């Protein structure tokens, strides 16, 4: 779960809802990126301008960019997730850098 990467590389995050336990730990760590929906499962949301709320991306496999200032919180979410369902990957080549499939 601790792959090396260049901090300037664009990263994206997605959640495998089939494995999500609905504990909400991700939303506690990074509420700007994760949110629980009415079905009790976590979903990602894209960055929103200050004072606005982004829509949840509820399509299976939907990804959201990981803003650099939130990277530490998103990584902590992936590490602490009891369902091992949070995946962070490089946009450039799709390689998972944090999460259950990271090298």
Q: What is the pLDDT of residues 21-40, one digit of tens each?
A: 999 999 999 999 999 999 99
Q: Using pLDDT thresholds of 50, 70 and 90, give the confidence band for residue 7.
A: low
Q: Report CA dihedral (51, 57, 71, 22) to the nearest 10 degrees.
A: 110
Question: Do 47 and 103 meet the contact criterion of CB atoms below 8 Å apart?
Answer: no
Residue whose pair of structure tokens reads 């496999």 in the numeric block = 61
Q: Using pLDDT thresholds of 50, 70 and 90, give the confidence band for residue 53.
A: confident
- Gap between the Cα atoms of 84 and 57, Å rounded: 19
Is the pLDDT reported for residue 3 higher than 50?
Answer: no
Q: What angle is formed at CA 94 by the lines to CA 57 and CA 4, rounded to 5 degrees?
A: 110
Mean pLDDT of 53-71: 94
Relative to beta strand 96-98, strand 11-15 is unpaired
The answer as to CATH 3.30.70.20 being correct for domain 11-98 is yes
Q: Using pLDDT thresholds of 50, 70 and 90, give the confidence band for residue 1.
A: very low
Parse the chain into domains and list their residue ranges. 11-98
Ordered DSSP codes for 34-64: EEE-TTS-EEE-----TT--PPPB-STT--E
List, for residues 78-98, the tens digit of each pLDDT value: 999 999 999 999 999 999 999
């Amino acid at each position: 779960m601790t792959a090396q990467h260049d901090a300037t590389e664009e990263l994206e995050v997605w959640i495998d809802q089939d494995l999500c336990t609905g504990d909400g730990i991700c939303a506690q760590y990074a509420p700007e990126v994760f949110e629980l929906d009415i079905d009790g499962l976590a979903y990602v949301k894209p960055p929103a301008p200050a004072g606005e709320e982004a829509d949840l991306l509820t399509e299976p496999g939907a990804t959201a960019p990981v803003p650099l200032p939130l990277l530490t919180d998103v990584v902590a979410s992936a590490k602490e997730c009891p369902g091992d369902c949070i995946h962070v990957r490089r946009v450039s080549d799709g390689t998972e850098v944090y999460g259950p499939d990271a090298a």
